[in-house]
Chains A and B, each alone.
Chain A
């Protein structure tokens, strides 16, 4: 009898576990399917290749090219800036501070904390700084805000890759007469390039998908920006604004825009998966 109840309990929980696990997969499926069903009918070449025309926001002609290009500008700009600051930090932590384990761990802890800060806080902060400096809504302000937001992600992701480089490699390189900085860029970066690209893609995905950080700082425009000081449209905001419109055609375009953003994210995710698989192959094993 005891055994029967024990078995019953185990079976019930096993059932629940299977339900939970497959449920998660099903939810992903449902998300993608609902976006596809709603977005595909109004997705057209016209939508991808044109900027908004007159009456666009009442359902007339035009497309979201301004938002797509704007988002790409924002994501590329901020990823580049974040790499410029993030890579040296990650290298410094793993090469120059190799023997200061406690310090490095404290920095890691700090970065993890920063990673958790919601993007709306960066957005609000960026906005205040922008006002303080007398800047206007612009591509540059957006890039800087997103950079703040993705730097911790970038550094920690690169850091995880660099951490796996064996200490012997550093010692070997130093003993051959290279300086630490040379070792950093010539040996470590070379050894870890696929991992670093994966980290960059991760940060890029975060940058292109985030709405709260750019809501305050980039503004919104129907034109493709030609200078850093112009306001810029972005995909997340295009989706957000169009969805709140009462016009059905505009709402439909919001779904289509969401589909476009989802596809971009999926492509990035698949790319990084392929790269990280290759990374495991090319890494020298000690």
Chain B
């Protein structure tokens, strides 16, 4: 395994009840790049993303086999009580923003407080810092005590990004983060990602081909629970090897 690989998924199989959702997945995700998981809806992209974070744990009907190594550590073997440490390494951005049912301020400090940081001055500084990073500070600095649900959808999504960054992760997992947003907010998020990849490894799920072309460094193409093809963006987009990839790129599945 080389230094450039952040996440290495080996022989991953996932069942929900009796149905197999992921079939023998082998994927390498490079460090400090934007990796896009591409594929038609219902192909298991989101499920794959969630298993990186062990979010699959909370659904008792889901069974996962195989291994997922992050920096060489198999996270599927981590004991249940230490799972929170794994999750803190990753920030999650979902399809629609799901602000926690509390104030803007508390949304950011939630993760910090959970890990035991309670000093008011420290928290204030973090809140300002991460809201600035998500380009939200100027819009909300005067109403930090307002409920997060009062923000617009685009603002909420940036709040969720700030909230995720605040726990100081190494990886950002994003599940179609722009699908509920207007074009302007979408563009803001995309630009933010390109900016953030210097310090974070970003894994993004999307079914929007154009978006993938715009920002992907590395591409994983999935179809019906299997990985069909993976490689650098130039390779996959410029010179696809598999028939199914070609068909998808032509727009046959959409």
A and B touch in the complex (CB under 8 A): yes
**Contact across chains for A2 and B81 when beta carbons are under 8 A apart:** no
**Contact across chains for B81 and A7 when beta carbons are under 8 A apart:** yes
- A100 in contact (CB, < 8 A): no
- B116 in contact (CB, < 8 A): yes
Interface positions, chain A 1-53, Cβ under 8 Å from B, are: 2-3, 7
CB neighbours (8 Å) of B116 from chain A are 2
Min CB gap A18→B, angstroms: 14
**Distance between Cα atoms of A3 and B116 in the complex (Å):** 10
CB neighbours (8 Å) of A7 from chain B are 81
**Distance between Cα atoms of A146 and B81 in the complex (Å):** 56
Interface positions, chain B 114-161, Cβ under 8 Å from A, are: 116
**Distance between Cα atoms of A110 and B116 in the complex (Å):** 49
**Distance between Cα atoms of A7 and B79 in the complex (Å):** 12
CB neighbours (8 Å) of A3 from chain B are 81
Please count how many residues in chain B sit with their CB below 8 Å of the partner chain's CB atoms.
2
CB nearest neighbor in B for A3: B81
Task: Produce 1/0 per residue, B95-127, CB < 8 A to A.
Answer: 000000000000000000000100000000000
Min CB gap B86→A, angstroms: 14
Task: Produce 1/0 per residue, A50-94, CB < 8 A to B.
Answer: 000000000000000000000000000000000000000000000
Size band of the interface chain A makes with B:
under 10
Min CB gap B136→A, angstroms: 30
Interface positions, chain B 204-251, Cβ under 8 Å from A, are: none
Interface positions, chain B 11-44, Cβ under 8 Å from A, are: none
**Distance between Cα atoms of A2 and B117 in the complex (Å):** 12
Q: How many A-B residue pairs have CB under 8 A?
A: 3
CB nearest neighbor in A for B81: A7
Min CB gap A176→B, angstroms: 36
Task: Produce 1/0 per residue, A197-211, CB < 8 A to B.
Answer: 000000000000000
CB nearest neighbor in A for B80: A7
CB neighbours (8 Å) of B81 from chain A are 3, 7
CB neighbours (8 Å) of A2 from chain B are 116
**Distance between Cα atoms of A262 and B81 in the complex (Å):** 47
Min CB gap B82→A, angstroms: 8
Interface positions, chain A 175-204, Cβ under 8 Å from B, are: none
**Distance between Cα atoms of A2 and B81 in the complex (Å):** 12
CB nearest neighbor in A for B85: A3
Min CB gap A123→B, angstroms: 43
Task: Produce 1/0 per residue, B40-78, CB < 8 A to A.
Answer: 000000000000000000000000000000000000000
**Distance between Cα atoms of A7 and B82 in the complex (Å):** 10
**Distance between Cα atoms of A145 and B81 in the complex (Å):** 59
**Distance between Cα atoms of A2 and B116 in the complex (Å):** 8
**Distance between Cα atoms of A216 and B116 in the complex (Å):** 63
CB nearest neighbor in A for B116: A2
**Distance between Cα atoms of A3 and B81 in the complex (Å):** 8
**Distance between Cα atoms of A7 and B81 in the complex (Å):** 7
**Distance between Cα atoms of A2 and B113 in the complex (Å):** 12
Min CB gap A5→B, angstroms: 11
CB nearest neighbor in B for A2: B116
CB nearest neighbor in A for B114: A6
**Distance between Cα atoms of A276 and B212 in the complex (Å):** 47
CB nearest neighbor in B for A4: B81
**Distance between Cα atoms of A7 and B80 in the complex (Å):** 10
Min CB gap A156→B, angstroms: 30
**Distance between Cα atoms of A33 and B135 in the complex (Å):** 65
Min CB gap A28→B, angstroms: 24
Min CB gap A11→B, angstroms: 10
Min CB gap A55→B, angstroms: 61
CB nearest neighbor in B for A7: B81
**Distance between Cα atoms of A27 and B75 in the complex (Å):** 42
**Distance between Cα atoms of A2 and B114 in the complex (Å):** 10
Q: List 3 A-B contacts (CB under 8 A).
A: A2-B116, A3-B81, A7-B81
Question: What residues of chain B have their CB less than 8 Å away from a CB belonging to chain A?
Answer: 81, 116
By Cβ-Cβ distance, the 3 closest A-B pairs, closest first, are: A7-B81, A2-B116, A3-B81
